[in-house]
């Protein structure tokens, strides 16, 4: 029997007819769906339905069996409410285990389209699938994706080629299949068939905050933050409701450029389907953000047609992925198109199978045999996938890990110390029952080391195999305040207690899934609820918090302690906290057990004895007992003093000198300050090279903007100011640096960070650094500038690959890349620090500008290389892509707000005040954008042009308004800036101020006499834009200054219509109170009531009707509000309109009443309501 005969016969069969069961081995085609609606569509494609077959106990899937043509098909769907790559992999693995003869696979369902070439209802056949969120970090820091789907079997690949050819020659058969299904399965038609109610809007996107934005259908990608707003309705909603789409050029770069035109695609007939062949990007995240979607597309070469969530789970499985497009993966993601999209995808899959010859399938190997990853034990597959997912979820909670710090501190202890704590009644009692143990101590008493000993004791007593006991700990540090806010601390406890469970708690998975799709973070309440739930799952929990006093009150210390007490009071939770004697803290813990921490003589003696034993000096060893006794008497419970005191005598050469030093050891409250002062004085007064290195090392450690690694510190000290390259023979050994710093410095082994030995040392040096290191910031600035000026960096960006010019020959690029060989890598270690922090040191110093800094800013090659690298760093990417390639030293000095540097550069004869970077911005424009008033005055005094426009036709005044810099606006207006200047969109400063909702600037401009009725290129006034964004203060100011309420833009939209279109309830009420015409119509015949209907806002609908809105108003499609509600199936709105007296007999263009429309679209609840 031929394929065509089989199809003809199968179409005539009744779906109720059953067939003789087949064996598991007879099924050769696996069809996987993610959603029940996709499974419905898949089953609708079956020509025959087969009886169910038994399955193994370890198979969680539910299968639908049948045939399409001569292919026996197994359909499986992911569990309800679970999506993502991992679940898809598990379903596929179980399917292959139960049906071992499956040789070809399909994954069919819905996905998000990537404009401009894709429309809703189209189909994408994934000839290539890449997991966009899976990869590895390359050597040069770039992210390389390493996950691409296995090639499908040859039978499928040749069928796809044939399908594409047939589509080119004869068109798609999908409508034919859908028509057949409509007849055969009429119940599916209302939800799964084509409907005129399926509208296809495309929404502009700028920064992810724009929602409910209805444009003419233009989808703009890669626009600047100010460019998208030109894309407002021209043919508002007419094309939209007819299913037309207006798309932008795919290479859109600048909406202001008049060479860019909107391209309107040829309108299709309703229900027309186009099949595309190309790249699908798959990942574990729901994409609801056009910017993220476009970034993914751009990172994959601009070739992505569709984004989705399950196909990447089948990377090891040779499947073909087919997706019906149900949305554009942007902020207007909704469910309206999902059923239809699932149906067209299923129909496309069925059409594909027409060209898959059974004889070719027989030649293929079973997929199970191909995959080494698929084992009989599906649990192994699930465990691997779950482990990967668990790590992702835990790191999503917080990336902070205190484990390495615990390892560092515990290793630094003197073995055998701290035993007195374990033998104490307080600690033994704390271990036995639910208690809070507060352990205060004087600075340097050894609290942190004892904390590490306690944590190690708990981990030893209750190993991870004992899953009923939970252990979590936090080391508070003044150096980590930025990552130890209340939410961070709670998330860290949650992470630690979750990761120690044998399986990740379900509450954590649910929290992750709830926020992943929206790219949001869990609220504090969410984290607390999850933390309490996880703690409740343990029989007992220990929480250890070290150095509570280093946690500032502004970080939520009081709230954190309150939550700790709540956990103790309501769950079986033990708390141990250390702190210095801070009155607020001792008061909070006064009702709990207090156990004071101080250095015990026995521990001090053990430490000193070990230090002397490790020393090779006979003098120390011969007088061991005397030294130990004298230092032990002096430290008085401060363990840190023992270390400092020993360092003060370590290198004494005679017994007399040792005795003299020991007799004058500082004691009491000032002991630390005295010890530090003595140590630093000894270093500073010695002018030898070793002491110079120690001095420089200390000022780098104390004054650096962030902690330095050992290699960064070595390179910082090796820099020879003014030299063109780094001499690696000048690198000091890190152990020598530590030794020369006389006990003031230590290294955290896990993190490789160099730091001061104790908080007290940091406090002392932060208080006195100007005394010891008065020129530190100047020296660091010059070393950073010297490093940045190295010849190697003037020719190539060290870490980030600069994007080559399009006309550059690829061969030359490869040669250039090959020149960047490994011998240069050592010269780059300090580059990132110098790049990002030299300005901090320059501005912190009293000098700011030195001859070296000036030479650097005058160096065209150095400035060019520096600015290009700077533009790639997160945190500097703002104001377009700044700094761009074409930038001068004056631009750079202006950008950073360095007035002295600007002043010196302006003294140079060849300095061009009007030099423009790649974005057309002058130094004055940058100063205005970043709010550097002193620099603005300097530039204007030197004759800078106030009205120079950049590539967006923006003057410095416009840029300062956009930034919201009211002081800069005031300064520029005072200097005579034109307040009626317009940018490429025709927007004036007042228009921008109203749009952004800047009350002070709006008021300032109005007081200066700005034109309140100025219109932009689309006819919108400041009031229109203030209404668009719901900026009520700006609206009130504009109305007080006489702004016209009924002004219409070129689309016929009044401010009230804009407010209704955006769904701004409060703004609508405000405008109505001011007398706005609520029956004004736009060019599509829509009133404010029409827009309220669109947003299904029943309260606003009722308000508008009560205010006198016309309930029988008809739009250009001759629909009244009640007709629209009936078509959409909104029973609540329909009831409201009926209660208000809407006409039940109103008819649309097809002579249908509301009840007829509701019946046509299958809205039975509305039909019943209308028939009453």
Same domain for 616 and 696: no
Residues near 12 by Cβ (< 8 Å), separated by ≥ 6?
Answer: none
Residues 844, 704 within the same domain: yes
Specify the range with the lowest mean pLDDT, choosing from 136-150, 485-499, 1078-1092.
Answer: 136-150
Mean pLDDT of 882-888: 66
Q: Tell which wins on pLDDT, 368 or 1000.
A: 1000
Q: How do residues 187-212 score in pLDDT, each as one tens digit? A: 888 788 877 667 775 533 333 333 32
| pLDDT of amino acid 635 | 80
What confidence category does residue 309 fall into, taking pLDDT thresholds of 50, 70 and 90? Answer: confident
Q: Taking residues 905-918, what's their average pLDDT? A: 83
- At 558, which CATH number? 3.40.50.300
- The pLDDT assigned to 312 comes to 55
Query: For residue 941, is it within any domain?
Result: no
**DSSP labels for 1035-1063?**
HHHHHHTT--TT---TT---HHHHHHHHT
Question: Which residues does residue 608 pair with via DSSP β-bridges, in sequence order?
Answer: none
* Greatest distance between any 2 Cα atoms in the chain: 115
Q: Environment class of residue 979 by beta-carbon count within 10 Å: exposed (0-12), middle (13-18) or buried (19+)?
A: buried
Confidence of residue 316 (pLDDT cuts 50, 70, 90): low
Find the mean pLDDT for residues 43-59.
Answer: 88
528 and 585 in a single domain? The answer is yes
One domain, residues 442 and 457: yes
Is 1058 exposed, middle or buried, given 0-12, 13-18 or 19+ CB atoms closer than 10 A?
Answer: buried
Buried b (16+ CB within 10 A) or exposed e, 354-386: bbbebebbeebeebbebbeebeeebeebbeebb
Give the span between the Cα atoms of 693 and 698, in whole angstroms. Answer: 9
Average pLDDT, the chain: 80
Residue 434's pLDDT is: 94
Which of 120-134, 318-332, 695-709: highest mean pLDDT? Answer: 695-709
Q: Above 80 in pLDDT, residue 402?
A: yes
**Percent of the chain having pLDDT more than 70?**
82
- Predicted local confidence at residue 650, as pLDDT: 83
Predicted confidence band at 440 (pLDDT cuts at 50, 70, 90)?
Answer: very high
With beta carbons less than 8 A apart as the criterion, state whether 999 and 1033 touch. yes
Q: Give the pLDDT band (50/70/90) at residue 234.
A: very low
Residue 236 vs residue 868, higher pLDDT:
868
Residues contacting 215, CB < 8 A, separation 6+: 201, 202, 203, 204, 231, 232, 233
What does pTM read for this prediction? 0.55
Residue 245 has pLDDT above 60, yes or no: no
> What DSSP state is assigned to residue 515?
H
Mind spelling out the 3-state secondary structure of 979-1006? CCCCCCCCCCHHHHHHHHCCHHHHHHHH
Check pLDDT > 80 for residue 251. no
pLDDT in tens, 499-528: 888 788 888 888 887 787 667 788 999 999
pLDDT at 1093 (0 to 100):
85
Q: Which stretches does DSSP call E strand in 114-158?
A: 123-131, 135-137, 143-145
- The conformation of residue 474, written as its DSSP 8-state character, comes to E
Task: Say whether both 568 and 610 belong to one domain.
Answer: no
Residue 817 falls within a domain, yes or no? no
Domain boundaries, position 358: 26-194+271-380
Residues 430 and 540 grouped into a single domain? yes
Residue 1023 domain-assigned? no
What CATH number should be reported for the domain holding residue 301?
3.40.50.1580
Inform me whether the pLDDT recorded for 163 exceeds 60.
Answer: yes
Alpha-carbon torsion (697, 700, 706, 709), positive or negative: negative
Last residue within a domain, chosen from 552, 568, 594: 594
Q: Please give the pLDDT value at position 851.
A: 86
Rounded to an integer, the average pLDDT of 1158-1172 is 85
- Sequence-ordered list of residues with C-beta below 8 angstroms from that of 1025, at least 6 positions apart, any chain: 991, 994, 995
Return the higher-pLDDT residue of 920 and 147. 920
Number of folded domains in the chain?
Answer: 4
* Residue percentage of the chain with pLDDT more than 90: 33
pLDDT of residue 369: 74
Same domain, 157 and 297: yes
- What's the pLDDT score for residue 575? 97
Ramachandran bin of 325, using left for φ above 0, alpha for ψ from -120 to 50, beta for the remaining angles: beta
In this model, does residue 741 exceed pLDDT 60?
yes
Residue 952 included in any domain: no
Q: The tokens 């053990």 sit on which residue?
A: 606
What distance, in Å, lies between the first and last C-alpha atoms of the chain?
57
Highest mean pLDDT: which of 243-252, 543-552, 878-887?
543-552
- pLDDT, tens only, 337-358: 899 999 999 999 999 999 998 8
The pLDDT score that the predictor gives to residue 20 is 67
DSSP lists the bridge partners of residue 672 as: none
Count Cβ atoms below 10 Å from residue 727 Cβ, excluding itself: 10
- pLDDT value, residue 804: 41
Q: Is the pLDDT of residue 257 over 80?
A: no
pLDDT surpasses 70 at 777: yes
**So what's the pLDDT on residue 884?**
58
Q: How far is CA 741 from CA 30, 664, 755, in A?
A: 69, 21, 11
Could you tell me if residue 1170 is inside a domain? no
- Decide if pLDDT at 784 tops 60: yes
The answer on 534 and 454 residing in a single domain is: yes
Give residue-wise pLDDT tens across range 1018-1028: 999 999 999 98
Both structure tokens of 582:
């801070």
3 pLDDT above the threshold of 80: no
Residue 970 in this model has a pLDDT that exceeds 90: yes
Of 557, 577, 594, which residue constitutes the final position of a domain? Answer: 594
Summarize pLDDT for 804-821 with one digit per residue, the tens: 443 344 444 434 433 333
182 and 281 both lie in a single domain:
yes
Decide which of 380, 414, 429 is a domain's last residue. 380
Q: Residues 112, 127: one domain?
A: yes
Instruction: Answer whether residue 543 shows pLDDT above 90.
Output: yes
Q: Looking at residue 67, what is its pLDDT?
A: 93
| Beta strands across the sheet bearing 573-579 | 469-475, 540-546, 573-579, 436-440, 593-594
- Is residue 234 a part of any domain in this protein? no
Cα 902 to Cα 939: distance, rounded to the nearest angstrom:
8
Tokens 């509450």 sit at which residue? Answer: 507
What integer pLDDT is reported at residue 1160 of this predicted model? Answer: 83
Q: Which residues of 840-868 are buried (b: 16+ CB within 10 A; e: fewer)?
A: bbbbbbeebbbebbbebbbbeebbbbbbb
pLDDT of residue 404: 85
Specify if 219 maps to a domain: no
> 436 and 556, same structural domain?
yes
pLDDT at 798 over 80: no
Tell me the per-residue pLDDT of 657-685, one tens digit each, with 9 for 90 and over: 888 888 878 776 677 777 778 778 777 65
Assess whether pLDDT exceeds 50 at residue 373.
Answer: no
Where is mean pLDDT largest: 15-24, 447-456, 645-654? 447-456
With respect to residue 699, please indicate whether it lies within any of the assigned structural domains: yes
Quickly state the pLDDT bin for 269 (edges 50, 70, 90): low
User: How confident is the model over 1082-1107, as a mean pLDDT?
Assistant: 87
**Are residues 647 and 695 located together in one domain of the fold?**
no
């Amino acid at each position: 029997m031929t394929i065509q005969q089989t199809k003809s016969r199968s179409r005539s069969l009744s779906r109720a007819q059953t067939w003789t069961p087949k064996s598991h081995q007879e099924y050769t085609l696996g069809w996987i769906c993610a959603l029940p609606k996709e499974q419905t569509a898949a089953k609708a494609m079956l020509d025959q339905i087969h009886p169910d077959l038994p399955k193994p106990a370890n198979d969680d899937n539910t299968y639908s069996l049948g045939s399409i043509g001569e292919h026996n098909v197994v359909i499986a769907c992911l569990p309800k409410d679970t999506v993502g790559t991992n679940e898809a992999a598990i379903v596929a693995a179980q399917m292959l285990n139960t049906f071992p003869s499956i040789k070809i696979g399909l994954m069919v369902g819905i996905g998000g389209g990537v404009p401009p070439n894709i429309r809703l209802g189209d189909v994408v056949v994934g000839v290539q699938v890449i997991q966009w969120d899976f990869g590895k970090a390359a050597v040069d820091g770039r992210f390389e994706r390493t996950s691409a789907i296995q090639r499908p079997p040859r039978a499928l690949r040749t069928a796809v080629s044939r399908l594409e050819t047939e589509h080119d020659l004869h068109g798609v058969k999908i409508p034919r299949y859908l028509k057949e299904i409509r007849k055969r399965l009429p119940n599916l038609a209302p939800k799964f068939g084509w409907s005129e109610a399926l509208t296809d809007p495309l929404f502009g996107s700028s920064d992810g905050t724009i929602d409910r934005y209805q444009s003419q259908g233009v989808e703009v990608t890669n626009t600047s933050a100010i460019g998208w707003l030109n894309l407002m309705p021209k043919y508002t909603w007419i094309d939209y409701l007819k299913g037309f789409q207006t798309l932008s050029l795919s290479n859109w770069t600048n909406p202001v450029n008049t060479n860019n035109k909107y391209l309107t695609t040829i309108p299709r007939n309703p229900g027309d389907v186009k099949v595309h062949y190309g790249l699908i990007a798959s990942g574990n995240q729901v994409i609801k953000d056009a910017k993220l979607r476009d970034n993914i597309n751009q990172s994959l070469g601009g070739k992505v047609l569709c984004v989705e969530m399950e196909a990447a789970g089948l990377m090891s499985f040779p499947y073909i992925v087919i997706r019906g497009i149900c949305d554009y993966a942007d902020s207007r993601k909704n469910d309206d198109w999902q059923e239809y999209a699932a149906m067209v995808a299923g129909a496309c899959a069925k059409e594909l199978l027409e060209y898959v010859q059974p004889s070719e399938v027989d030649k293929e190997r079973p997929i199970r045999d191909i995959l080494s990853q698929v084992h009989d034990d599906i649990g192994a597959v699930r465990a691997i996938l779950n482990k990967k997912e668990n790590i992702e979820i835990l790191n999503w909670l917080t990336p902070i890990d205190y484990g390495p710090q615990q390892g560092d501190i515990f290793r630094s202890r003197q073995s055998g110390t701290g035993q007195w704590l374990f033998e104490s009644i307080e600690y033994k009692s704390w271990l036995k029952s639910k208690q809070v143990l507060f352990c205060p101590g004087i600075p340097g008493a050894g609290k942190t080391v004892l904390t590490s000993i306690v944590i190690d004791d708990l981990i030893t007593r209750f190993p991870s195999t004992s899953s009923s006991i939970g252990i979590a700990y936090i080391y508070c540090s003044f150096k980590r305040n930025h990552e130890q806010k209340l939410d961070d601390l709670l998330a860290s406890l949650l992470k630690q207690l979750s990761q120690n469970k044998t399986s990740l708690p379900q509450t954590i998975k649910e929290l992750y899934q709830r926020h992943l799709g929206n790219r949001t973070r869990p609220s504090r309440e969410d984290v607390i609820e999850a933390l309490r739930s996880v703690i409740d799952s343990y029989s007992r929990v220990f929480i250890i918090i070290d150095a509570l006093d280093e946690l500032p009150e502004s970080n939520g210390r009081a709230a954190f302690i309150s939550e700790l007490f709540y956990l103790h009071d309501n769950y079986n939770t033990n708390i141990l906290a250390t702190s210095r004697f801070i009155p607020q803290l001792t008061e909070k813990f006064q009702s709990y057990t207090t156990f004071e921490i101080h250095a015990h003589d026995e521990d001090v003696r053990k430490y000193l004895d070990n230090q002397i034993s490790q020393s090779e000096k006979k003098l120390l060893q011969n007088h061991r007992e005397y030294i130990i006794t004298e230092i032990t008497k002096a430290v008085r419970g401060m363990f840190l003093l023992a270390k400092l005191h020993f360092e003060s005598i370590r290198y004494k050469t005679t017994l007399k000198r040792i005795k003299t030093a020991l007799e004058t050891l500082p004691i009491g409250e000032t002991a630390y300050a005295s010890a530090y002062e003595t140590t630093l004085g000894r270093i500073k007064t010695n002018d030898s090279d070793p002491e110079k290195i120690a001095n420089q090392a200390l000022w780098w450690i104390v004054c650096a903007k962030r902690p330095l690694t050992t290699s960064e510190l070595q390179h910082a000290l090796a820099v020879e100011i003014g030299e063109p390259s780094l001499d690696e023979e000048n690198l000091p050994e890190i152990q020598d640096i530590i030794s020369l710093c006389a006990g003031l410095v230590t290294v955290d082994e896990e993190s490789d960070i160099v730091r001061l030995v104790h908080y007290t040392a940091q406090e002392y040096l932060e208080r006195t650094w100007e005394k010891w290191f008065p020129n530190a910031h100047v020296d660091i600035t010059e070393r950073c500038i010297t490093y940045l000026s190295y010849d190697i960096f003037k020719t190539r960006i060290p870490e980030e690959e600069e994007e080559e010019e399009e006309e550059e020959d690829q061969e030359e690029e490869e040669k250039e890349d090959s020149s960047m060989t490994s011998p240069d890598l050592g010269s780059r270690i300090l580059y990132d620090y110098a790049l990002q922090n030299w300005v901090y040191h320059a501005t912190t110093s009293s000098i700011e500008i030195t001859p070296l800094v000036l030479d650097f800013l005058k160096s065209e090659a150095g400035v060019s290389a520096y600015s290009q690298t700077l533009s790639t760093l997160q945190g500097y990417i703002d104001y377009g892509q700044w700094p761009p390639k074409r930038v001068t030293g004056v631009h750079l000095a202006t950008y950073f707000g360095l007035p002295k540097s600007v002043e010196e550069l302006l003294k140079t004869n060849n300095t061009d005040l009007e030099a423009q970077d790649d974005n057309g911005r002058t130094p004055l424009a940058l100063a205005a954008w970043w709010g550097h008033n002193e620099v603005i005055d300097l530039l204007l005094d030197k004759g800078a042009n106030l009205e120079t426009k950049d590539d967006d036709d923006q003057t410095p005044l416009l840029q300062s308004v956009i930034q919201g810099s009211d002081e800069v606006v005031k300064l520029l207006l005072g200097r005579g800036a034109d307040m009626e200047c317009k940018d490429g969109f025709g927007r004036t400063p007042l228009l921008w101020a109203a749009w952004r909702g800047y009350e002070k600037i709006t008021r300032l401009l109005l007081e200066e006499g700005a034109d309140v009725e100025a219109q932009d290129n689309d006819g919108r006034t400041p009031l229109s834009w203030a209404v668009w964004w719901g900026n009520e203060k700006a609206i009130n100011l504009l109305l007080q200054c006489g702004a016209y309420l009924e002004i219409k833009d070129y689309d016929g939209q009044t401010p009230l219509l804009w407010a209704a279109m955006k769904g701004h309830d409060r703004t609508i009420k405000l405008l109505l109170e001011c007398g706005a015409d609520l029956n004004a119509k736009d060019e599509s015949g829509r009133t404010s009531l029409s827009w309220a209907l669109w947003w299904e806002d029943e309260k606003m609908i009722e308000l508008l009707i009560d205010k006198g809105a016309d309930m029988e108003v008809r739009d250009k499609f001759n629909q009244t509000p009640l007709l629209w509600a009936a078509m959409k199936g909104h029973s609540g709105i329909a009831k409201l309109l009926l209660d208000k007296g809407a006409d039940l007999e109103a008819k649309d263009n097809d002579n249908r009443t509301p009840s007829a429309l509701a019946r046509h679209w299958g809205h039975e609840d509305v039909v019943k309501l209308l028939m009453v």
